[in-house]
Amino acid sequence: MKNVRIGIIGIGNMGSAHAKQIFDGNIPNAELTAVCDVNPERLSWAEDTFGDSVERFDTPEAFFEAKACDAVFIATPHYDHPSLAIESLENDYHTLIEKPAGVYTKAVREMNEVAEASDKVFGIMYNQRTSPLYQKVKDLIDSGELGEMKRTVWIITDWYRPQSYYDAGDWRATWSGEGGGVLLNQDPHQLDLWQWICGMPVRVRSFMSFGKYRNIEVEDDVTAYVEYENGATGLFVTSIGEAPGTNRLEISGDKGKIVVEDGKLTFWRLRTPESQFNEEFKGGFGSPESWKIDIPTPGENSQHNGILKDWVNAIVNGTELLAPGVEGINGLTISNAMHLSAWTDDWVELPLDEDLFYEKLKDRIDNSTFVKESKNITLDVDGTF
């Protein structure tokens, strides 16, 4: 069997890390054969690091035309994910995009249409879907162990970022460069896991601050309230300004409560479902018997390499993707709805008014008065996601 020849567009923070993994042979059946970056410094880094066995391109056009690979991993800034993915798929490359799927769902929807019409494998780097912990949470919900969901609260405030992080990239944390802050850069994984596990809400009301903790023009702190079709409610709380932050997901249902915190999954299982207890119990004060259970979550969290392997495996063996690219629109829809709600200080119903969101985003890009000192430093991303 021939190796899948992989090309990477965008070898900045994340792309360079992925490139090294593939180059070093950590992804079976895959080899790195091409890289593309508009920044000459990154290309000399590639030359120094990989030598001439990996072809280098300074424009996506030349990269796509060269056919120096079979499969393309897009690790550019967010805005370009949809357009490059469309170009990649239309040039008959299997395609993997970094998260988020894009910045606004209008563009992502177009990408999805192209992907659905294509016979190529289209994935997204949702490397938290490889977590045995969250897979088990999803299992407890999908299998009915928790019963009908009542509430979900995700406090995910451990995305601490100091000012120096924002100062290291001129596209970072700007409306024109990233299209948002913590929701676009740090939270896409949790927003994806949230909808993967709990489903999509039907309406959103959110509150956010822009540049409260850092000298940036985008959101650095978000509190979002959502409602689901069945009447369940949810909260998503996130920030880059708290230390040490919290990462705690609680989901309550008719048969008990799940809490994920400190890498552990605890399930308080009711012996009698709450709704049944409520029907039967006549004593006034009392509650269903509850068992606190430590749920085992065996297995390795293979993260980025896991998603790369899964994608290559799907290309080679036709297996189902753990993180299909077309599902990237879900988390982004919630993210866009949160922004739109805060901008309009009002409810946002789903399906999202995509044109209105795009218009409001464009307003912010066009009217930005934020001046960023132009710097582009490639940071060491070891240990980040």
Q: Does 288 bind its own copies (CB under 8 A)?
A: yes
Question: Which residue in the set 212, 349, 355, 363 belongs to the binding site for its own copies (CB under 8 A)?
Answer: 212
Give residue 75's identity as a one-letter amino acid code. Answer: A
Query: What is d(CA 107, CA 126) in angstroms, rounded to the nearest whole number?
Result: 19
Piece of the chain touching its own copies by CB under 8 A; list 47-55, 82-90, 96-104, 201-209: 201-209
Query: What is d(CA 35, CA 6) in angstroms, rounded to the nearest whole number?
Result: 9
Query: What is d(CA 246, CA 146) in angstroms, rounded to the nearest whole number?
Result: 23
CB of 167 to its own copies, least distance (A): 8
Q: Does 358 bind its own copies (CB under 8 A)?
A: no
Name 208's bridge partners.
222
Sites for its own copies among residues 229-268 (CB under 8 A): 231, 233, 235, 237, 239, 241-246, 250, 252, 256-257, 259, 268
Tokens of 210: 């822009």
Question: Which residue in the set 80, 192, 217, 274 belongs to the binding site for its own copies (CB under 8 A)?
Answer: 274
Number of residues assigned to the chain:
385
Q: Does 122 bind its own copies (CB under 8 A)?
A: no
Question: Which residue in the set 225, 311, 343, 357 belongs to the binding site for its own copies (CB under 8 A)?
Answer: 225
CB of 268 to its own copies, least distance (A): 5
229 vs 359 by CB, closer to its own copies: 229
Give residue 322's identity as a one-letter amino acid code. Answer: L
Q: Does 287 bind its own copies (CB under 8 A)?
A: yes
The 8 Å CB, 24+ separation contacts for 118-122 are 118/89, 118/90, 120/89, 120/92, 120/93, 120/94, 120/95, 121/71, 121/94, 121/95, 121/311, 121/314, 121/315, 121/321, 122/85, 122/89, 122/94, 122/95, 122/96, 122/324, 122/325, 122/326
What separation in angstroms does the CA of 277 have from each of 53, 143, 254?
Answer: 67, 21, 10
Name 264's bridge partners.
261
Q: Does 377 bind its own copies (CB under 8 A)?
A: yes
x-or-dash string of contact with its own copies, 147-186, rule CB under 8 A: ---xx-x-x-x--xxxxxx--x------------------
Q: Does 44 bind its own copies (CB under 8 A)?
A: no
Residue with tokens 């912990």: 133
Q: Does 290 bind its own copies (CB under 8 A)?
A: yes
- Element spanning 18, H or E: helix 13-23
CB of 285 to its own copies, least distance (A): 6
For binding to its own copies (CB under 8 A), which residues are involved? 150-151, 153, 155, 157, 160-165, 168, 205, 207, 209, 212-214, 221, 223, 225, 227, 231, 233, 235, 237, 239, 241-246, 250, 252, 256-257, 259, 268, 270, 274, 277-279, 281-288, 290, 377, 379-381, 383-384
